Structure 1
């Protein structure tokens, strides 16, 4: 019994500190997530891992950033989405003849899979809200389909800072079993 007590006395404080630090970092600083859908193809593939930086108050969000958030969709409550930031507060967004316009200026989007097969807007992004679309626009369940097309600032989780493609992790796109 004495060796067990000695072991616990020696290692328990370090283990508790490591666990608390790990939980704090994952909750407030950075977290790795798996992408379950193809809404961001070709940029992010199904089952790719993304590293998400959660320090949004210290982050400068820009058009084109990939952001993880809780969508304003009741049946998707609690799920996390990753989409591209298209509209910041005050922006006017319109999709016309397969082309995205922001504040009446055409936006070049080399990252999208194909031109959009729908028209949308014009619509202005309210204060403290954001507008998101997937890169796989014609197959993405995103702002152009939601009843409320805007995501509240408090529903933002973080900014994708790194994508780890599945094929690099598991080789040839197969997961380990």
Structure 2
């Protein structure tokens, strides 16, 4: 570190923190703490300042993992504003070159038995015009890998112990995938400009109530049996019936939903336009719902398809892509059934 001061305050240069309000950091450093972390969850997160996934999944889960594995009393491992004693930092041996350095600093400070604390910090929206370098899944995995590696290194863990933790972690991941949600890749351009091809989104299964498997191919681990000759063929006619966990909310108009069609395994991503009981028509590129023009904030590419008096059946939804002129949706295959909806896109 090229700094020559006794204390160092480090923060993101994206206008998301108020550098004129650093007195809490300097006070704690003066009291003898070696690392003072900002806590955005206790200080306050302004609207649009933190993406949904980071606020409710990434930061809480990874910080919880760090607290459990290393017994560190820090709630927000990844706050971009922190202060530390320069002499202490030189003992930590931070080597990470990516975003995971945030976790490494906290863990290595704790392993060196240095004193840590948190102070409330307000997070403001990113003031930069360019897109941030942070990539949710890539950097989240790097944090996870670093925390796991430091833990096993600290414990000098044998392969036997490692396998136990691996099995527990695998089961936890599988449960999250089945009951909470999973990442889904956008396959086409039908949702432009909202979603780009090859972009990853989080499919929130819990909000609508997670769908329970109806066949082997939909069941975690059991789907491996489908590689056995004959099992896949029999599985195409298997049906355990429709079951869904308790939902926390029902689909709403303009929700972006992820769904299947029939017994196919492909996932589709579209926006709900028509709700059960609605009467729809489309004229001059504008959609009318029950006679009123739809204020569709998600769509910026119109289509001049013309249809009229489509009545949405109970427990069905009329869906369309935002790129109206290049989307295979309910205008072609009809309304989708509630039973086929896997989840909704978690909004930032």
Q: Normalised by the shorter chain, which TM-score bucket?
A: 0.7 to 0.9
The corresponding residue for 2:164 is 13
Q: Does 1:30 align with 2:220?
A: no
CA contact (8 A) 1:95 1:122 kept: no
- Give the Cα–Cα distance (whole angstroms) in 1 for the partners of residues 160 and 326 of structure 2: 56
Q: Specify which of 268, 279, 290 is matched with residue 81 of structure 1.
A: 268
Q: 1:115 to 1:10 in 2, by over 3 A?
A: closer
TM-score by length of structure 2 reads 0.42
1:151 aligns with 2:336: yes
Gaps of 5+ in 2: 1-156, 209-246
Runs of 4+ in 1 over 4 A off after TM superposition: none
State the TM-score, normalized to the length of structure 1.
0.80
Equivalent position of 1:69 in the other structure: 259
More strand by share: 1
Q: Unaligned 5+ residue runs, structure 1? A: 1-5, 164-177
Q: SS at 1:157's partner residue?
A: strand
Counting helix residues as a fraction of each chain, which structure ranks higher? 2
Aligned to 1:3: none
The superposition leaves residues 40-77 of structure 1 with CA deviations (integer Å, 9 ceiling, x where unpaired) of: 001101111111100112233211110000135x8xx2
Number of residue pairs matched by the alignment: 153
Corresponding residue SS for 1:111: coil
The residue matched to 1:38 in structure 2 has which SS?
Answer: coil
